[in-house]
């Protein structure tokens, strides 16, 4: 029988080459996966950090209380009413106007929402929520918008020691998830709360109210009862502000605020003089606007006219016209000359406002008119005017959550790479990729060399075994 004679040395070399090739390929493939692990390290660290935050028990409602605020927190929210049409701005009223119509959209509630399992599903024990994984979808962001009316007083204000009126506040949940919405407001000097249910005074004119549970897209209004003192007109112009905070599970709180103006009628009533002031409106460009004032002499004697304009903080007259001088940071005085009996003088002032002042609009300004006749007593009257800005209506819309990369992938514009420590992560990933590539190339080279040696080796001649002898 013929058999092939294979040398022991070559057989041992082949046995060593195969394990070496397998080990090289395994090391190369293992190291090739390391860059993904290194790139995913910042994400895992962020998730671990988020998991250490306090987590409430299942079914507990998230707290929307501001840690910087002090004072009692009301346990109930103010009553809601139907909101005004979206196309027309709301206006203040001099008398409370109760309404029983249902609010637009799902009605907010003051109780926590309850969740129930499907009847066919088996009972599941409560599990403490954990941090979402890298591939889990992000929670929809919370978003909220608030709009206010104005406190507009009628001529009856001059005959009463105080006047109770209402301020309409309209809230819209502009987010994509149910949210807990809390209301707070600040009243200027001379105004106090007249007993708004669900709200409490916390000092310095600030008030806090209870929370609503609002569905996505819900829009509703509430009426705040306000008392205006009989001498509050001496401190005009007067403005306040309203703030809302929305909190949704798993999302950052969203806030919005808007101001409101307290508008007094011309007065105190004095015969022989009439004063009118227009509204100041800033367009979306934020450029300068104008204020129109008319001072009328309704008496029988000619008189010298003077007008003084008082503006809120952040609103100024950049270039007073002829006859006008700056009497202070927020005051401008203008001499109108002689105003004949039965005639009126017209004044137009350029007005500008800072971006901060425009974002807090509506605001209120005041104008005082005075007539000093050649004979007789001087007559003086004052009133408020409204300042609005389109920038106050430009509330940023909450953007949808950006898609997250798969595990082991770090986007080039991610915060981890833009931060100070991103450079070391990128360098480490590049080095590991280069090393893994070299190892793979080395393994392929060894495999190719081994195969080539086996193919180029001479085939041994067959040998014939000697025949057995008897």
pLDDT of res. 407: 37
pLDDT over 90 (residue 365):
yes
How far apart are the C-alpha atoms of 91 and 168, rounded to whole Å?
Answer: 8
- 119, two tokens: 């009847």
pLDDT of res. 285: 86
Question: Which of 14-28, 231-245, 251-265 comes out lowest in average pLDDT?
Answer: 14-28
Strands of 230-266, DSSP E:
238-247, 254-263
Only one residue has tokens 């004679």, namely 5
Question: Which of 194-203, 250-259, 377-386, 456-465 comes out lowest in average pLDDT?
Answer: 456-465
Q: What is the dihedral of CA 198, 203, 206, 208, to 10 degrees?
A: -30
Percent of the chain predicted with pLDDT > 70: 62
Cα-based distances in Å from 359 to 26, 181, 241, 258, 355: 62, 21, 11, 8, 6
Cα-based distances in Å from 459 to 17, 192, 260: 19, 108, 100
pLDDT over 60 (residue 97):
no
pLDDT of res. 360: 87
Question: Which of 10-24, 272-286, 341-355 comes out lowest in average pLDDT?
Answer: 10-24
pLDDT over 50 (residue 225):
yes
State mean pLDDT over 91-109. Answer: 42
Which H or E element spans position 295?
A: strand 289-297
State mean pLDDT over 424-452. Answer: 77
User: 370: pLDDT confidence band, cut at 50, 70 and 90?
Assistant: very high
Q: How many residues does the chain have?
A: 470
Percent of the chain predicted with pLDDT > 90: 45
Which H or E element spans position 417?
A: helix 415-418
pLDDT of res. 427: 72
Strand 206-214 and strand 315-316: pairing? unpaired
- 325, two tokens: 């001088």
394 compared with 67, residue with greater pLDDT = 394
Three-state SS at 307 = strand
Task: Give per-residue burial for 254-271: e unless 16+ CB within 10 Å, then b.
Answer: bbbbbbbbbbbbbeeebe
Q: pTM to 2 decimals?
A: 0.59
Mean pLDDT for the chain overall: 74
Three-state SS at 407 = coil
**Nearest Cα to 89, choosing from 396, 390, 359, 397?**
390
pLDDT over 70 (residue 377):
yes
Name the H helices within 101-205.
none
How many CB atoms lie under 10 A from the CB of residue 312? 21
- 168, two tokens: 């309409």
pLDDT over 80 (residue 216):
yes
How far apart are the C-alpha atoms of 319 and 326, rounded to whole Å?
Answer: 9
9 compared with 417, residue with greater pLDDT = 9
Question: Which of 109-118, 268-277, 357-366 comes out lowest in average pLDDT?
Answer: 109-118
| Model pLDDT for residues 198-208, shown as the tens digit of each residue | 999 999 999 99
How far apart are the C-alpha atoms of 438 and 435, rounded to whole Å?
Answer: 5
pLDDT of res. 380: 94
Question: Which of 130-134, 156-160, 348-352 comes out lowest in average pLDDT?
Answer: 130-134
State mean pLDDT over 86-101. Answer: 41
| Model pLDDT for residues 107-132, shown as the tens digit of each residue | 555 443 333 343 444 444 454 444 45
| Model pLDDT for residues 291-338, shown as the tens digit of each residue | 999 999 999 999 999 999 999 999 999 989 999 999 988 999 999 999
pLDDT of res. 81: 76
Distance of CA 122 to the CA centre of its chain: 40
pLDDT over 80 (residue 417):
no
pLDDT of res. 117: 41
User: 139: pLDDT confidence band, cut at 50, 70 and 90?
Assistant: low
State mean pLDDT over 441-460. Answer: 74
User: 438: pLDDT confidence band, cut at 50, 70 and 90?
Assistant: confident
User: 423: pLDDT confidence band, cut at 50, 70 and 90?
Assistant: low
pLDDT over 50 (residue 428):
yes
Question: Which of 189-193, 384-388, 431-435, 461-465 comes out lowest in average pLDDT?
Answer: 461-465
| Model pLDDT for residues 63-73, shown as the tens digit of each residue | 444 434 455 56
How many CB atoms lie under 10 A from the CB of residue 286? 16
Cα-based distances in Å from 243 to 165, 174, 255, 358: 20, 15, 7, 16
């Amino acid at each position: 029988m013929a058999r092939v004679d294979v040398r022991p040395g070559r057989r041992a070399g082949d046995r060593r080459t195969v394990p070496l090739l397998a080990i090289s390929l395994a090391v190369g493939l293992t190291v090739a996966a390391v860059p993904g692990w290194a790139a995913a390290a910042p994400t895992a660290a962020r998730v671990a950090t988020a998991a250490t935050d306090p987590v409430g028990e299942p079914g507990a409602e998230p707290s929307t209380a501001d840690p910087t605020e002090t004072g009692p927190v009301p346990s109930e929210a103010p009553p809601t009413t139907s909101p005004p049409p979206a196309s027309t701005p709301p206006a203040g009223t001099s008398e409370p106007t109760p309404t029983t119509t249902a609010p637009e959209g799902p009605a907010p509630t003051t109780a926590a929402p309850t969740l129930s399992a499907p009847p066919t599903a088996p009972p599941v024990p409560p599990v403490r929520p954990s941090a979402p994984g890298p591939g889990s979808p992000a929670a929809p962001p919370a978003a909220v918008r608030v709009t206010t009316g104005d406190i507009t007083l009628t001529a009856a204000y001059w005959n009463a020691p105080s006047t109770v009126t209402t301020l309409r506040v309209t809230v819209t949940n502009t987010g994509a998830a149910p949210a807990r919405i809390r209301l707070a407001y600040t009243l200027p000097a001379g105004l106090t709360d007249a007993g708004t249910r669900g709200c409490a005074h916390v000092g310095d004119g600030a008030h806090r109210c209870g929370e609503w549970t609002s569905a996505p897209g819900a829009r509703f209004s509430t009426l705040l009862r306000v008392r205006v003192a009989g001498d509050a007109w001496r401190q005009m112009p007067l403005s306040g502000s309203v703030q809302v905070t929305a909190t949704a599970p798993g999302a950052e709180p969203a806030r919005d605020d808007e101001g409101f103006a307290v508008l007094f009628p011309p007065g105190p009533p004095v015969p022989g003089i009439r004063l009118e002031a227009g509204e100041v409106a800033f367009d979306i460009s934020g450029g300068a606007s104008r204020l129109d004032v008319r001072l009328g002499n309704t008496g029988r004697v000619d008189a010298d006219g003077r007008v003084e304009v008082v503006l809120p903080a952040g609103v100024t007259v950049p270039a007073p016209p002829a006859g006008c001088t700056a009497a202070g940071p927020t005051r401008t005085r203008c001499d109108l000359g002689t105003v004949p009996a039965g005639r009126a003088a017209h004044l137009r002032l350029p007005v500008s406002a800072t971006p901060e002042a425009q974002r807090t609009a509506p605001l209120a300004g005041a104008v005082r008119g005075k007539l000093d006749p050649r004979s007789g007593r001087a007559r003086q009257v004052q009133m408020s005017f409204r300042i609005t800005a389109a920038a106050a209506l430009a509330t940023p819309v909450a953007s949808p959550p950006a898609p997250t990369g798969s595990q082991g992938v770090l986007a080039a514009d991610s915060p981890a790479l833009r931060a100070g420590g991103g450079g070391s992560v990128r360098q480490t990933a590049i080095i590991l990729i280069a090393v893994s590539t070299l190892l793979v190339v080395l393994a392929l080279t060894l495999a190719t060399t081994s195969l080539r040696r086996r193919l180029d080796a001479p085939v041994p001649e067959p040998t014939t075994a000697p025949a057995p002898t008897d």
